[in-house]
Amino acid sequence: MRITWHGHSCFELIESLNILVDPYIERNPVAKCSVGDFNPDLIAVTHAHADHLGNAGDIARRTGCLVISNPEVARHLDKTGARAEGMNIGGSYSVSDVQFHMTPALHSSGMNEIDPGIYGGEAVGFVIDDIIRIYHAGDTGLFSDMHLIGELLRPQVAMLPIGGRFTMGPREAAIATSWIRPEIAIPMHYNTYKAIEQDPAEYQELVETLCDTEVLVLDVGESIEY
Ligand code: NI
Ligand code: MN
């Protein structure tokens, strides 16, 4: 599988499907790509915050691709002309041979920038089971059911936020990594803005003291094959 980080929490996963997660592109100050570069089969959105929902609607309306998210975000996208399907925590959704498992996240999901009056549902994460299993945690604080995510869904790769302030910081993310025990962990949701400045080496060093997981610190736009 080809995994590309586009900064913040935006990842492109290419194997049997072309999957885009949290496509925050146009207003992402660190992104090196543009909205028109993407032609995914499916977009997964972890919650309604603008730095995650991002350009999901624009890309879905242009390409006709499917978006999956929580029911409230899916309904919003559907109303605005995108093709969207809702699902919820603990459930799975299959597209071709790829399964999307929705996991809890300890966060909020207000549609603050769209309409503060609309309830944006619950923030979530995904374990995407294609040829390998990938956990994208979304925005989250540390929670002990990450043990369960590791045990039940056994992700081989985990993308975890380390920026602090709105999510886990390096220390919490390192503990999360030791609970999930993926083969590879990729830090995300840091150094996009001043408020979430972090040194990913701090996370990497902490993980090394706790477990055997290999931390890969990617540059924005960098891809790995796994
Ligand atoms: Ni958020
Ligand atoms: Mn965020």
Can you give the CATH number for the domain in which 114 is found? 3.60.15.10
Structure tokens given for 122:
């619950």
CA distances from 131 to 59, 99, 158 (A): 25, 10, 15
pLDDT score of 9: 98
Residue found under tokens 């993980």: 207
| Whether the predicted pLDDT of 118 surpasses 90 | no
Mean pLDDT of the chain, nearest integer:
97
In a domain, 9, yes or no: yes
In a domain, 76, yes or no: yes
In a domain, 29, yes or no: yes
| Whether the predicted pLDDT of 178 surpasses 90 | yes
CA 116 – ligand 1 centroid, Å: 14
- Residue 75: which of 113, 106, 121, 39 has the closest Cα? 121
CA 112 – ligand 1 centroid, Å: 10
In a domain, 119, yes or no: yes
Counted domains in the chain: 1
Structure tokens given for 161:
């936020």
CA torsion angle 143 145 147 148 (round to 10): -160
15 close to 1: Cβ distance less than 8 angstroms = yes
- C-alpha–C-alpha distance, residues 129 and 116, integer Å: 34
83 close to 67: Cβ distance less than 8 angstroms = yes
Range of the domain at 162: 2-221
- Kindly report the pTM of this predicted structure: 0.98
173 confidence band (pLDDT: 50, 70, 90) = very high
CA 152 – ligand 2 centroid, Å: 26
Tell me the one-letter amino acid at 175: I
In a domain, 226, yes or no: no
